[in-house]
Amino acid sequence: MIAELFQSISPGTLLATAVTTSAAGLWLLLPRGLGGGAERAARSLGGVLSLVALGCFIATGHRLGSVGEEAVFLIVSLLAVVSAAATIVARSPVYAAIWFAMTLAGVAGVLLVLGGQFLGVATIVVYAGAILVMFLFVLMLAQPAGLAPYDRVSNEPLLSAVAGAVLLGVLSLSIGRLSAPPAACCAMPASKAALLADAPSTDAAEPGVDLLADNHVARLGGELFGRHLLAVEVAGVLLLVALIGSIAIVSRGATADIEPAAARRAVP
């Protein structure tokens, strides 16, 4: 019944509803320091509106053909998007970091479904295992006990939510255009198209199938250390520079801070 209801609405209306409700929902969900029942009511209403927006986005989505694939993709992408929204609306930064870990799990699932087996695992290992733990370390070092006032308010929540929703609407519109065949005005001249069609295709296999064949990681490694060897070397140098740079900043800051800190301690 719900599916029929969604099908009776035109895609444009659906997308407009999704964008409007997501803006309103995010605006209500962002922390605004109202306190008490007002904040709770605003957050519940924002949650409901965001769910409506998610439903509209799911309805504008495409059928993948097989039920299993569709269900898996829906679950992991919902996990990623809902946890991402929770990351930005969580008042406590520690909870925000934990929700971000959930987002990473969802993103890893999406990457797996899209055929990036190595990347799905690498996202979990590198992001959730290393980068997120570093964030949590800094939070534990620097976070005062309880909720700080600056965690309970947002900068211009309405304008930010509208900006994000407008960007999302524009991106969804342009992605929707990609699914339609190009209009007559924009189609390339027949001579050029024929030239392109005659050109020898570099990838003989069907698009997408090639990536999912055997020895995925081995072929990714071959590509990475073959065609993109220079990029790997540059990335290695970048890591080294970041390591040395952060150590240099910390050590210089530590010596500069000793005297003011000592002065602060001396004067009660």
Partner 1 sequence: MTPTDTLSPLVLDGLVVGAMLFAIGLVGILARRNLIVMFLCAELMLQGISVSLVSWSRHHGDWGGHVLVILVLTVAACEAAVALVFVLQAFSRTGRLDAAAWQSLRESNLPRSIDHELPAIDTVPPRFPTLTRAGIEPAADEDRLLEREHV
Task: Name residues contacting partner 1, limited to 224-253 (CB under 8 A).
Answer: 224, 228, 231, 235, 238-239, 241-243, 245-246, 249-250, 253
Closest CA to 69 of 105, 102, 115, 6: 115
C-alpha distances in Å from residue 197, one per residue of 79, 178, 187, 201, 239:
41, 20, 14, 8, 43
| Positions in 146-205 near partner 1 (CB under 8 A) | 146-157, 159-161, 163-165, 167-168, 171-172, 175, 178-182, 187-188, 193, 196-197, 201, 203, 205
Binding residues for partner 1, total number by CB under 8 A: 112
Q: Pick the closer one to partner 1 by CB: 1 or 262.
A: 262
Binding mask 26-65 for partner 1 (x = CB under 8 A): x---x--xxxx--------------------x---xxxxx
* Shortest reach from residue 126's CB to partner 1, in Å: 5
Residue 98 found at the interface with partner 1 (CB under 8 A): no
Element (H, E) at 46: helix 36-60
Burial letters 114-149, b for 16+ CB under 10 A, else e: eebeebbeebbeebbeeebeeebeeeeeeeeeeeee
Closest CA to 43 of 54, 61, 30, 24: 30
CA 200 to chain centre: 37
* Shortest reach from residue 10's CB to partner 1, in Å: 18
| R_g of the chain computed on alpha carbons | 25
20, 73, 121, 124: which one contacts partner 1 (CB under 8 A)?
Answer: 73
* Shortest reach from residue 188's CB to partner 1, in Å: 7
42, 122, 124, 128: which one contacts partner 1 (CB under 8 A)?
Answer: 122
Of 1-9, 41-49, 145-153, which segment contacts partner 1 by CB under 8 A?
A: 145-153
Residue 114 found at the interface with partner 1 (CB under 8 A): yes
Grouping H, G, I as helix, E, B as strand and the rest as coil, residue 148 is: coil
Burial letters 12-45, b for 16+ CB under 10 A, else e: eebbebbbbbbbbbbbbbbbbeeeeeebeebbee
Residue 135 found at the interface with partner 1 (CB under 8 A): yes
Of 6-14, 41-49, 207-215, which segment contacts partner 1 by CB under 8 A?
A: 207-215
| Positions in 4-23 near partner 1 (CB under 8 A) | none
Amino acid of residue 75: I
Amino acid of residue 245: G
* Shortest reach from residue 212's CB to partner 1, in Å: 9
* Shortest reach from residue 161's CB to partner 1, in Å: 6
Residue 25 found at the interface with partner 1 (CB under 8 A): no
